[in-house]
Amino acid sequence: MIVSNGGAAAAAVSIAENTTTVTTVTATDPDAGTTLTYSISGGAHASLFSIDASTGALAFKAAPNFETPADAGGNNVYDVIVQVSDGSLTDTQAISVAVTNVNEFPPLITSNGGGASAFLTISENNTAVTAVAASDADAGARIHYGIVGGADASLFKISRSTGVLTFKSAPDFETPTDAGHDNVYDVVLQASDGSRTDQQAISVSVSDVVNELLVGTSHADNLTGAGGSDTLKGCAGDDTLIGGGGNDLLDGGKGADHMDGGAGNDTYIVDNAGDVVVEKAGNGIDTIKAIVSLALWGNVENLTFTGTADLSARGNDLANTIVGNSGSNALFGGSGADALKGGAGNDTLSGGEGKDALTGGAGQDFFVFDTTPGAANVDKITDFSFGDGDKIQISQSVFAGFTHLGALAAGEFYSAAGATSAHDASDRVIYDTTTGKLYYDADGQGGAAAVQIAVLGSSTHPILIYSDLQIIA
């Protein structure tokens, strides 16, 4: 009776490729003095095996190769039936032999000519460099890519799975940041299959791109820049300006213009309410300089008002920086963590959602709270000034604990060092003079807890009294 490999009628064993030894078949016989003989009696791959008749040592005649399987199914599983005999009686066992892969070969980088080193050239103002590719003779090998050295390694990043190599920030030919300051950036890349590796040292030469100045006419012009940091001026018509790559300046002029800066950190001059700015996600940090009121278009980060007109602005879902001019501006943030800066006029600032930073600047400024309070929506008022007549305005439509509009009553305000909750039933606004934290309590000492809505100042905190707050609709 065969007792090896579990002793059942069928058994499964596994061996690594490139070896011949499979297993040793063993058996017992209750009849004393019998001689046991081992043999191969069948199986789809019987011809590929041999067995020692006396010891039961089962082996491949030739070592199997995982990459070129010789079994009928091509799946590296070989079937053989072994037999033991005492001269008159027999027992058999069907054995499935699974051949496993061995990491025999390192990956081989094949991109950019392969080899230990490569030299590439790209134009300035672009982040894309190359896609590193490698092959591996081991079947099923999974290759991962990484950066392992080079004088300028910190300036690059690579996709572990795809091998796409990029600059973290687009290089500028005029201000090289490579170690040698010669616009040649050195990085060492590696391909790994988990235990074996291959490396390639790449030198990336950044070439200069000529910056263009394109000026339109009084007609509806179509101006398209190249890959440089171009200046496009549309003049009087309803123009279309396409910047392309680079950090472009797009000024449509007097008409209702369509402006698309493309990749790079672009600046737009908006001077007509009919102007349209188009930006895609990930195409740089873009800035609009405007003399008209507007709502920021998608994927545009920053807005600065110029001139002296009283203007209004509304942010988008990014973390916007919106800067007013010397007029009395109304600045409204979107859903991001915005920075609103009023400037010299009597400005109104409302952060919207997100943790916003509100800076009124000179003049009497109004800081508006009209969104649902919560931990993710606590704004910072950086420069509240009693001397300038600044006011904090709280919307009754959101903060329903107020039963009136207009000035906050003295009994609705509580201020003290370490104050975080109401001290009587009439309190609605609590100010901690130690931390500058401002709280709203919907029902005073009722069941609802106070919730922080703002913090005033950073290292120092201004004096705040009840008359500094107003209730608006």
Q: What is the pLDDT of residues 79-121, one digit of tens each?
A: 999 999 999 999 999 999 999 998 888 999 999 999 999 999 9
Final residue in a domain of this structure, among 173, 207, 241: 207
Angle CA 212–218–224, to nearest 5: 30
Final residue in a domain of this structure, among 81, 100, 119: 100
Report DSSP letters for 262-330, one per residue: -SS--EEEE-STT-EEE--TTS---EEEESS-EEPPTT--EEEE-SSS--EEE--SS--EEE--SS--E
Chain segment 453-463, per-residue pLDDT in tens: 999 999 999 99
The pLDDT assigned to 211 comes to 77
The pLDDT assigned to 269 comes to 96
Chain segment 230-254, per-residue pLDDT in tens: 999 998 899 999 998 889 999 999 9
Cα distance between residue 442 and residue 12, in whole Å: 72
C-beta separation of 408 from 467 below 8 A: yes
Chain segment 179-201, per-residue pLDDT in tens: 999 999 999 999 999 999 999 99
Cα distance between residue 371 and residue 355, in whole Å: 12
196 and 260 together in one domain? no
199 and 338 together in one domain? no
**Boundaries of domain holding 263:** 213-472
Structure tokens at 426: 């009439």
83 and 148 together in one domain? no
445 and 369 together in one domain? yes
The percent of residues above 70 in pLDDT, for the chain, comes to 100
Chain segment 252-289, per-residue pLDDT in tens: 999 999 999 999 999 999 999 999 999 999 999 999 99
308 and 439 together in one domain? yes
C-beta separation of 318 from 301 below 8 A: yes
Final residue in a domain of this structure, among 167, 188, 207: 207
Q: Residue 47 belongs to a domain with what CATH number?
A: 2.60.40.60
304 and 349 together in one domain? yes
329 and 260 together in one domain? yes
190 and 270 together in one domain? no
286 exposure class (CB count in 10 Å sphere: 0-12, 13-18, 19+): buried
How many domains in the chain? 3
52 and 199 together in one domain? no
335 and 237 together in one domain? yes
The pLDDT assigned to 212 comes to 82
C-beta separation of 450 from 457 below 8 A: no
* Radius of gyration over every alpha carbon of the chain, rounded to an integer in angstroms: 38
